[in-house]
Structure 1
Amino acid sequence: MIHCRNVHKTYRAGKTDKIVLDGVDFSINPRDRIGLLGRNGAGKSTLIRLIGGVEMPTSGKIIRRMSCSWPLGFTGGFQGSLTGYDNARFISRIYDKPYAEMRAFVEEFTELGSQLQMPVKRYSSGMRARLAFALSLAIEFECYLIDEVIMVGDKNFQDKCKDEFFEKRTDRALLLASHSLSTVRRYCNRAIVLKNGNATVYEDVNEAISVYEAL
């Protein structure tokens, strides 16, 4: 399980502090598929970064008893001067996964071909997202954190993403920040609505969507 306990996050904005998260409490259980809803600027990306350990909360605790992916989205923690292959090699060493296996999966999943030999800083946002998805899926985390994008590229690649996340990994937890209400409605069993720094958990996804639509 993953527990957020009274999580606060503020950023310095000039001479004042901007409160992004103001006492967030919820848990992610094994097999949970949680949709994270909120208007732009509500703190969805911030919350995902905190859970993924990319940033630290200003106060409160995040207790992880499941392994988490890094936040998957158009941005990521890649070394821009390294190629796609080199980033895969680096990740394989960190997580002690055979590089040959990692490379084969990345090649098949991303469909980037010779572009994997290019520095990542030359990638488009969609190419970076493909690489981020492939590297994360190759590690087999217990909980996947997805920020805004689940479908990138052509229909073939979109179908591949759906199959990997929603069919092959039904035993994994998922926190999905998305504006696609149809995706949240179809695949999530719970939802969280962020508003004014507060997180309200809904066991009924349709109720959460109704609240979000009214914002």
Structure 2
Amino acid sequence: MRSDKSTDGQGRTFTEQARRSQIVECAIATMTEFGYVRSSLAEIAKRAGISKGVIAYHFANKDELTEQVVFELYRRAGQLIGTRVEKAPTAASALQGYLEVNLAFIQGNPDLVRVLTDIVMNFRDENGHLRYGPDDADGLLQHLEGILRRGQETGEFRDFSTRPMAIVIRAAIDAASGRISMDPHFDIGAYTSELITMFDLATAKGPR
């Protein structure tokens, strides 16, 4: 039987980790309803049925809590994408899977996508600069570049610069996030199909 005094590898007990997870989930729900800017710690605490002091025990401020929200949202999407890509037998199927899973996550989780987009567009540091910029996307681009380089090494893909291609692919995926937030009738299934065809042709070594 596991004691609540056992730790999670970061010095936190499992009880503390469970409370942190609860606060993050309530922060996501609050930001979904009110938006990032209008979501106060008081409102998040009210939704969680706890005091602001409990939140302050686990998170120094709203900024730290917001960073954990972003981490959690990327973690959920990353798990799905990683599993699909790792099982793909070829680079071409890995790229197709990457597109399908990313866009399926957007389609299945429009509220989470809106929260993440809201945070990225409005979360600023103490100097007034946006907290998340191009440098924060490097991990996503590097993962995608790995798929593209794999295809070039196996001879599936033509010779091209992987960073610009990765940027274009990510931009196409992110465009769907913005579109689905504005247009509830957006046909993301057709969009996914067209992107797969487009990037299949764009990366192909020879005529397809």
> Which structure has greater helix proportion?
2
The interval holding the TM-score normalised by the smaller chain is under 0.3
Larger Rg: 2
Structure with more contact order per residue of length (Cα contacts < 8 Å, sep ≥ 6): 1
> Which structure has greater strand proportion?
1
**Structure 1 length-normalised TM:** 0.26
